[in-house]
């Protein structure tokens, strides 16, 4: 039998540790992409709601809609841009916060929102050195993007760090973002900002801003663990085959490992069915 065992008490402890560290200064956006970071999208999200987490981030439209279909009413940020107007219509109807990374994207959202006669909420993405979604940090069009329009409400802006273990580089990205924020606030004073992922949250308290986006650290899966977060589960399975292989025999895709000597090898089934 294959089972992912999750210790809910340890999850709760981790959340309490994180909340105590934040001390009301900053709110949590829980990142629940990739099937709830492996713990089951709907079940994990509902658990987090019970622990008074009320803002979530997903990576694709399907995740957002599944949450709405399962009566998750909290804020949901769609972190990637959407190009299809039918998809945008579905997201706007379901009150999903959209990401804007270009003026064309904002115009497209406005077009769909106007057609629906419904206000769309958006966060503007700033590219400070990742080269993925978003306005380049020195693009003057950012100021136009953060201006609210009739049916587009701009409530946030954010960036992604590309290598948080590299403090010099991360601080350069943060400096770029701060410069953008100072200009944005002149146009949209109420806008809220976020940049920290789990590692940045643990390493750079001065970068927390209005929100921190936390995924892996809630589950205790961190490179550095200054807060004493707990690893919240384990995968239990069974050995389905034991075989002997000779020295020099290649193992797995791309010949990833070569046996340095005659070895006894165990094959374990790791397909996951759910969490308990």
CA 108 to chain centre: 24
CA–CA separation, 120 vs 124, rounded Å? 13
CA–CA separation, 134 vs 137, rounded Å? 9
pLDDT of residue 274: 47
pLDDT of residue 273: 46
The residues, any chain, with a CB within 8 Å of residue 45's CB and separated by 6 or more, are 30, 32, 36, 56, 67, 70, 72
Query: What's the fold here for domain 8-224?
Result: TIM Barrel (3.20.20)
CA–CA separation, 180 vs 160, rounded Å? 14
Confidence band (pLDDT; 50, 70, 90) for 271?
low
pLDDT of residue 237: 81
CA 117 to chain centre: 30
Domain parsing of the chain, residue ranges: 8-224, 237-268
CA–CA separation, 176 vs 178, rounded Å? 6
DSSP letter, residue 137: T
Average confidence (pLDDT) over 17-26: 96
CA end-to-end distance (rounded Å), the chain? 13
Q: What are phi and psi of 177, to 5 degrees?
A: -65, -40
Q: Which residue has the higher pLDDT, 274 or 37?
A: 37
- Tell me: the pLDDT tens digits for 102-155? 999 999 999 999 999 999 999 999 999 999 889 999 999 999 999 989 999 999
- Tell me: the pLDDT tens digits for 210-265? 999 999 999 999 988 999 999 997 777 888 899 999 999 999 888 989 999 999 99
CA–CA separation, 110 vs 144, rounded Å? 13
Helix, strand, coil percentages in the chain from 3-state DSSP, rounded to 5? 40, 25, 35
Cut 0.85: pTM above it: yes
Q: What percent of the chain has pLDDT over 70?
A: 97
> Taking each helix axis from N to C terminus, what angle separates 61-69 and 41-50, rounded to the nearest 10 degrees?
60
pLDDT of residue 223: 86
The residues, any chain, with a CB within 8 Å of residue 190's CB and separated by 6 or more, are 155
pLDDT of residue 276: 40
Flag whether pLDDT at 30 surpasses 60. Answer: yes
Average confidence (pLDDT) over 21-41: 95
What's the whole-number average pLDDT of the chain?
A: 94
Average confidence (pLDDT) over 64-93: 97
Instruction: Reduce the secondary structure of 32-74 to three states and give it as a string.
Output: CHHHHHCCCHHHHHHHHHHCCCCEEEECCHHHHHHHHHCCCCC
């Amino acid at each position: 039998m294959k089972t992912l065992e999750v210790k809910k008490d340890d999850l709760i402890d981790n959340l309490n540790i994180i909340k105590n560290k934040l001390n009301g200064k900053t709110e949590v956006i829980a990142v629940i992409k990739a099937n709830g970071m492996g713990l089951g999208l709907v079940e994990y999200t509902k658990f987090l709601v019970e622990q008074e987490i009320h803002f979530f981030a997903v990576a694709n439209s399907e995740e957002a809609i599944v949450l709405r279909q399962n009566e998750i009413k909290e804020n949901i940020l769609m972190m990637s841009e959407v190009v299809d107007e039918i998809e945008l219509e579905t997201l706007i109807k379901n009150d999903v916060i959209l990401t804007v990374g270009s003026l064309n994207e904002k115009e497209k959202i406005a077009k769909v929102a106007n057609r629906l006669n419904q206000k769309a909420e958006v966060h503007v993405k700033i590219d400070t050195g990742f080269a993925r979604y978003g306005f380049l940090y020195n693009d003057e069009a950012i100021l136009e993007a953060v201006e609210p329009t009739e049916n587009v409400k701009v409530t946030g802006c954010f960036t992604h760090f590309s290598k948080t273990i590299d403090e010099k580089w991360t601080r350069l990205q943060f400096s770029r973002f701060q410069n953008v924020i100072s200009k944005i606030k002149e146009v949209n004073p109420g806008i809220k900002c976020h940049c920290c992922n789990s590692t940045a949250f643990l390493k750079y308290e001065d970068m927390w801003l209005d929100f921190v986006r936390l995924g892996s650290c809630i589950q205790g899966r961190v490179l550095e663990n200054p807060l004493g977060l707990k690893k919240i589960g384990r995968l239990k399975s069974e050995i389905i085959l034991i075989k002997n292989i000779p020295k020099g025999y290649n193992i797995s895709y791309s010949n990833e490992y070569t046996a340095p000597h005659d070895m006894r090898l165990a094959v374990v089934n790791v397909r996951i069915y759910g969490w308990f």
